[in-house]
Amino acid sequence: MKKTVKSAEPAVETATARHRIPMLDRIRQQLDHLGKRTSDTSVIMVNSVPVRVPQGAAFIDSQTYPDSCDATHPFKFYVFIPSSVLSLDYGKLSFFLQAYRRPVAAVNNAAVTSGASSAVTSSSGSTLHHHNWSIGAGSAGTAMLAIGTGGAATVQGSGASGIVDTSTDSATHTHDVPHTHGVTSNVTLTDGIFEGAVATGVTVKINGVDQTSALGGGSGFTTDQTELAIGQWLNIGQLNTIDLTPTGLGRILGHLSITGYRLAR
């Protein structure tokens, strides 16, 4: 009697076919079974668990740039987060402390000299001067007292007239004389890249509130920082500001990265 052996090949094909079903289709099948499928939602995986969310896309904002700063002029990030963003799941700030840079240097080759004055100033000292006393003609028999030179008094009358001078020394005094000077400059400007102080003692303000201590920086960061979590202080639907302020002159390279999920409409 002839024994028939069944082939296992169809079973292998069936298993392969099952594995060819796309993962998203299987997720949809599971959700359809639960009666949760709608036309305006999408499925995303959260910790290997399918989750249905409104249709949308990832929100990603990233900024990187260097800038000079000091105690009164902070390094700034401006970040507007649209109101269509449902939530933020990542907000990290990194910054690197660098030396201040300037594109020109000034060199004083010699002392600055002044040219000749356009006018001579007056000197202080005593000045001899006089006063004139005018004595008019008087009527007959009228006597007039005149103060003479050196303070001597004389009497004139019977219609006589004349001018009597007095003289005396004045006190020491000065006069302002408007004038100009020509000035020769000996400063040379040199183009190039010149570095100065390195930024340090950096404080972090987010939307006007100092978060330095909360981020672990104490009174101010003195070293480079990477991926400081700041998402909890950012506001959706608003312009957010991030200020990095050193204690003195310096330069900062800043990097900001924000991700979230936003609606499609």
Average of per-residue pLDDT values in the chain? 75
CA Rg value for the chain: 47
Place of tokens 């000299």: 113
90 vs 41, higher pLDDT:
90
Read off the pLDDT band of 60 (50, 70, 90): very high
0.75 cut: is pTM over it?
no
* Greater pLDDT, 176 or 77: 77
pLDDT above 90 for 228: yes
Give the domains, in start order, of the chain with CATH numbers: 8-54 (no CATH), 55-101+195-265 (2.60.120.10), 129-166 (no CATH)
Rounded to 5 degrees, φ, ψ at 201 are 60, 40
pLDDT at residue 142 in the model = 55
Other beta carbons within 10 angstroms of residue 69's beta carbon come to: 23
